A and B are shown apart, each in its own frame.
Chain A
Amino acid sequence: DAKTTQPPSMDCAEGRAANLPCNHSTISGNEYVYWYRQIHSQGPQYIIHGLKNNETNEMASLIITEDRKSSTLILPHATLRDTAVYYCIVRFTDKLIFGTGTRLQVFP
């Protein structure tokens, strides 16, 4: 089973920051936190990943708490095209274990 807990759904106004939380209280020291998203039934799209430091790329920022038990994915300026299901995954083998994710709805 997935080792993460995410809210089932969130709303965000277009142009505002979307902050998606994830709890992973049983994470081990060498396990990375990965974020993917899935738009409709398309293939999961990689967003960002991190181990302990905060990370930023052109899509998003990832904030990991110091104890690594939770993280937040930040989409700084959400657009309608960011409407998707967002998955937080703690990766401990070469396989990804997907949970049910957070369904983010961006509204105009």
Chain B
Amino acid sequence: EPEVTQTPSHQVTQMGQEVILRCVPISNHLYFYWYRQILGQKVEFLVSFYNNEISEKSEIFDDQFSVERPDGSNFTLKIRSTKLEDSAMYFCASSVDRQETQYFGPGTRLLVL
């Protein structure tokens, strides 16, 4: 069964460093998403992406964040200058169409020191 995959599973970085989290969505899916979950808190929507454009973003998704589909398979989330409060699990998801079911990857645990 097709799955969303994410790399790395764990990432430790120093405050102020740039990180790139990678996702490979399910192959025939056209909509891509990033969510995050700070330890002990709710899963929060960050951004949705379609046709090489952001279709919706939350107030969390500020100028420090960017997303990209650099090739036909990868979908990336970049945090330009990490802060301590960026420490969280980051989940990628994809769906066939905008209103279709979203399938989530296993997540990347980001720790900012």
Decide whether A and B assemble into one complex.
yes
User: Chain A nearest CB: distance from B64 CB in Å?
Assistant: 20
Query: Given that A41-B37, A43-B106 are known contacts, is A98 also in contact with B55, CB under 8 Å in the complex?
Result: no
Closest to B45 in A: A95
When the two chains form the complex, which single residue of B43, B95, B106, B107 contacts A98, counting CB atoms closer than 8 Å? B43
When the two chains form the complex, which single residue of B56, B89, B91, B109 contacts A94, counting CB atoms closer than 8 Å? B56
Taking a contact as CB atoms under 8 Å apart, the answer to whether A98 and B42 are in contact is yes
When the two chains form the complex, which single residue of A46, A93, A99, A100 contacts B56, counting CB atoms closer than 8 Å? A93
Chain B residues touching A, range:
20 to 34
The secondary-structure label for the interface of chain A is loop
The residues in B between 13 and 47 inclusive whose CB is less than 8 angstroms from any CB of A are 31, 33, 35, 37, 39, 42-45
Which residues does A use to contact B, with CB under 8 Å?
Answer: 32, 34, 36, 38, 41-46, 49, 87, 91, 93-100
Taking a contact as CB atoms under 8 Å apart, the answer to whether A49 and B37 are in contact is no
User: Is B104's CB within 8 Å of the partner chain A?
Assistant: yes
User: Is B99's CB within 8 Å of the partner chain A?
Assistant: yes
Residues on B with beta carbons closer than 8 Å to the beta carbon of A100:
42
Residues on A with beta carbons closer than 8 Å to the beta carbon of B101:
34, 46, 49
The residues in B between 90 and 113 inclusive whose CB is less than 8 angstroms from any CB of A are 91, 93, 95, 98-99, 101-107, 109
User: Is B87's CB within 8 Å of the partner chain A?
Assistant: no
Taking a contact as CB atoms under 8 Å apart, the answer to whether A44 and B104 are in contact is yes
When the two chains form the complex, which single residue of A44, A94, A99 contacts B55, counting CB atoms closer than 8 Å? A94
Q: Can you name 7 extra interface pairs (CB under 8 A) apart from A41-B37, A41-B109, A91-B99?
A: A41-B107, A43-B105, A46-B102, A94-B55, A95-B45, A98-B42, A98-B44
**Measured CA separation A93–B101 after assembly (Å):** 12
User: Is B48's CB within 8 Å of the partner chain A?
Assistant: yes
Taking a contact as CB atoms under 8 Å apart, the answer to whether B91 and A44 are in contact is yes
